[in-house]
Amino acid sequence: MLMTGGQAVVETLDAWGVDVVFGIPGVHTLVLYDALYEHPRIRHVTTRHEQGAGFMADGYARASGRVGVALTTTGPAAVNALTPIGEAHAESSPVLLICSGPTDETNGTDAGVLHDMRDQFGTLFSVTGRGQRVSRVEEIPDALSEGFEAMKYGRPRPYIFEVPLDVFKEEADVNIDEPAHRPPHKPEEVALDAAAEMIQSARKPVLIAGGGTQDASDDVIKLAKKLGLPVAVTANGQGAVPADHPLLVRGEAMNKCLNEADVVLAVGTRLGFRFEQMWKGTPEKLIHLDIDPEVIGRSFEPDVALIGDAGAGLRGLCARLDGVKTAWDVSDSVSQAQVSGQWEEKPFPELLGILRDVLDRDAVVVNDMTMISYQARRHFPVYQPRTFLSPTVYGTLGFSMPAAVGAKIACPDKQVVSLCGDGGFMYTATELSTAVQQGISLPVVLCNDNTYDAIKRAQDRECDGRNIAVELANPDFVMFAQSFGMRSVRVTNGQGFGEALEEALQAEGPTLIEVFVPEYA
């Protein structure tokens, strides 16, 4: 069929089931947007900054498990999206960035054309390590499909797809085939046999569920129940096992189990810095199951390496194991479903407790990098997969609110809440306009102390209280939100917060709930 490069991109997205894209049009992407005009199945969400578009695509991807798509034009627009792309890469989130690029003739020539930069594709590719730049319209369907296949069947990390601005405009005969779906990759049988034998002979095996188990929650729980395994979840694995499940271990109980274990089965996790700190030496015996062969052996050399999909691998192990009797005392070492650790200070325990009481079990909570978010990562009970989104590894500010917009668009029937502080909120505050324009019900809980509080605390600890550059001159956030035409309220106590949250969840549009922390405390 004869079509432009822009049409070829849109029709390939459609073939892969994409129903939402996030972005801002530019003069270099007019043909792409013309192909989206009144498209019957793909909805475009206009953002106020490309960083917001990237975070929304990330929130959409994490909440739904589907690929999130962000569209940008050339040069500054593409580079604006690098922060959310870096965030998606660090947290293994499948975000597709489609951007226009310079023509082959002007690429890297420093000719002074509009949006000229030294090496756009190389700059973007340096963050993701994967992507393609095409040179002909005919290349678009296969090249774009390769990106989808990499994100769907490999480790779900972001992918860069650059189309020169003249290729967007050109026409060619293009065939777009239906995607050839294939089953998840299963680890090799001999490796599964070896892993099962090791678990079968263990007295105190432990399972670690990482972010790669978010879509294998049932398989994690089935194996754990069958064997009486205690399960520890990583920061990105929260929700794979409900917080009130009797086999979940957290805090000191987790440390105790891991250090007593004679076999550790790590699934869907890179076993990064936290586990290097936790184990003074190495695990006694380690079975490592992951879709990405590059993470296996990076921190700890496994006794058995299982390369494949988490669910397929767990089902393969479960079929091989029967009648295993572990030495764990579920009523003692593995007693869990309790909040562990120490709260830093008020009002965060009360706020998070109210939040958990008011929300449904499957509500999605989207964090930022702020004091209440740090506390939520340690203490907030998460009951279902893909319901706790956080910038844990990359640690970018400004993630929460736009990512929550994307999560709500992905899951319109679920409650979604953005949890942020005043510093991070201001990074992407203009995306309130997007939330209003989309008419989504979204409570934005903004804890305001007019300070970069986490940095101030670090200065107090490490610089003997010599505080510099941490005091903030903020706007009146209630009036700020109202200027976008949205509901807003300021609260100073738990009762007021609970009432405001319940009202916000029932509202047709977004609501800003400012929790003014100095008055609260």
For residues 306 and 416, state if they share a domain.
Answer: no
Co-location of 360 and 430 in the same domain: yes
CA distance 470 to 60: 32
Residue 184 belongs to some domain of the structure: no
Last residue of a domain, one of 266, 301, 320: 320
Within this chain, do residues 162 and 216 fall inside the same structural domain, yes or no? Answer: no
- Residue 78 in any domain: the answer is yes
| Same domain membership, residue 144 and residue 210 | no
At residue 107, the pLDDT reads 76
Query: Would residue 178 count as lying in a domain?
Result: no
Kindly report the CATH number assigned to the domain that includes residue 249.
3.40.50.1220
Domains held by the chain: number: 3
Residue 487 is classified by DSSP as E
> Over the Cα atoms of the chain, what is R_g?
24
pLDDT of residue 333: 44
Residues of the chain by 3-state class (helix, strand, coil), percent to 5: 40, 15, 40
Residue 496 lies in a domain: yes
Residues 394 and 265 in one domain: no
Token reading at 150 = 């990499």
Place of tokens 């096992």: 241
Per-residue confidence in pLDDT tens, the chain, 521 aa:
999 999 999 999 999 999 999 999 999 999 999 999 999 999 999 999 999 999 999 999 999 999 999 999 999 999 999 999 999 999 999 999 999 999 888 777 787 787 788 899 999 999 999 999 999 999 999 999 999 999 999 999 999 999 999 999 999 999 999 998 899 999 999 999 999 999 999 999 999 999 999 999 999 999 999 999 999 999 999 999 999 999 999 888 888 888 889 999 999 999 987 777 777 667 889 999 999 999 999 989 999 999 999 999 999 999 999 866 777 875 554 444 443 344 455 688 899 999 999 999 999 999 999 888 888 988 899 999 999 999 999 989 999 999 999 999 999 999 999 999 999 999 999 999 999 999 999 999 999 999 998 899 999 999 999 999 999 999 999 999 999 999 999 999 999 999 999 999 999 999 999 999 887 76
pLDDT of residue 280: 66
User: In this structure, are 169 and 195 located in the same domain?
Assistant: no
Write out the residue range of the structural domain in which residue 492 sits: 348-520
CA dihedral (396, 398, 400, 404) positive or negative: negative
Cα separation, 167 vs 101, in Å, equals 9
Domain contains 180: no
For residue 473, is it within any domain? yes
Q: Establish if 179 belongs to a structural domain.
A: no
- Say yes or no: 53 and 140 in one domain: yes
Q: How far is C-alpha 71 from the chain's CA centre? A: 18
- Of 145, 173, 201, the residue that ends a domain is 173
Q: Are residues 194 and 288 both part of a single domain?
A: yes
Judge contact between 94 and 151, C-beta under 8 A.
yes
Q: What is the pLDDT of residue 274?
A: 76
Q: What is the pLDDT of residue 247?
A: 94
Q: Return the pLDDT at 335.
A: 44
Based on the fold, state whether residues 228 and 155 are members of the same structural domain.
no
What is the predicted pLDDT for the residue at 322? 82
How far is C-alpha 504 from the geometric centre of its chain's CA atoms? 24
φ, ψ at 60 (rounded to 5°): -60, -45
Same domain, 262 and 353: no
Residue 328 within any structural domain of the chain: no
Do 222 and 370 lie in one domain? The reply is: no
Domain boundary pick from 142, 173, 204: 173
Residue 273: count other Cβ atoms within 10 Å of its Cβ. 10
**Judgement on whether residues 247 and 160 belong to the same structural domain of the protein:** no
pLDDT, residue 375, reads 87
Give me the pLDDT at residue 258, please.
87
Q: What CATH number does residue 88 fall under? A: 3.40.50.970
Q: What sections of 164-272 are H helices per DSSP?
A: 165-169, 189-200, 217-227, 251-260
